[in-house]
Amino acid sequence: MLLHTQAKAQGKIKVDIFTNVNSFSCVCNEADFVYTEVDKNVAILFPLVQFDCPKKMMERDLLELFNADNYPHAKLTIAEIETTKSDTEKVIKFKLTLKNISQYYKLTLSRVKYGSKTYLEGSQKVSLSDFKAVPPTKMMGLIKVEDEVLISFKIPEKELLPN
């Protein structure tokens, strides 16, 4: 059951991908986030086709890596929010689902104000192999994508923590 989508441009999910030659980033902007509820928990769907990479070939590789034809979304589900003494951060336990495979992570998110809106920001390293994704190689193996990627979150606080 979908609650709503947002049409703002400040929030984003960024995936930093590293190779033995260089690195690049793919971004999904807040306008493409789909907010939903899963077992009374907040969940955000990130359409894989909406990730913008520096080159179209990289976007195709990303879609292939996560089998986007069969699993069109990455999903972040909030499993638990820990209370902290700080007004400037929140600690969350979340479930990341890719290719119908889920992994749990614990992350401290910073509260940052942009104008009248508050966002939660943070980063989490993720191993592609945990999601049964084989990092691609290019140019007959000369360029190799590393197994670990960095996912950076910038999500509106009111959407992530509605209560």
**Residue 130's CATH number:** 2.40.128.110
Residue 123: CA atoms inside 13 Å, Cβ hemisphere, count? 9
Number of domains in the chain: 1
Tokens of 28: 């999904």
Whether 126 has a pLDDT exceeding 70, the answer reads yes
**What is the Cα–Cα distance from 71 to 127, expressed in whole angstroms?**
18
Range of the domain at 143: 2-160
Q: Which residue has the higher pLDDT, 44 or 38?
A: 44
Tokens of 162: 């509605």
From 116, 119, 44, select the one nearest 89 (Cα to Cα): 119
Q: What is this structure's pTM?
A: 0.84
Q: What is the pLDDT of residue 25?
A: 93
The pLDDT tens digits of the residues spanning 73-92 come to: 999 998 888 878 888 888 99
Q: What is the largest CA-CA distance in the chain?
A: 52
Q: Which residues pair with 113 in a beta bridge?
A: 118
* % of the chain with per-residue pLDDT over 90: 46
Tokens of 128: 């592609």
Q: Which helix (H) or strand (E) holds 107?
A: strand 101-114
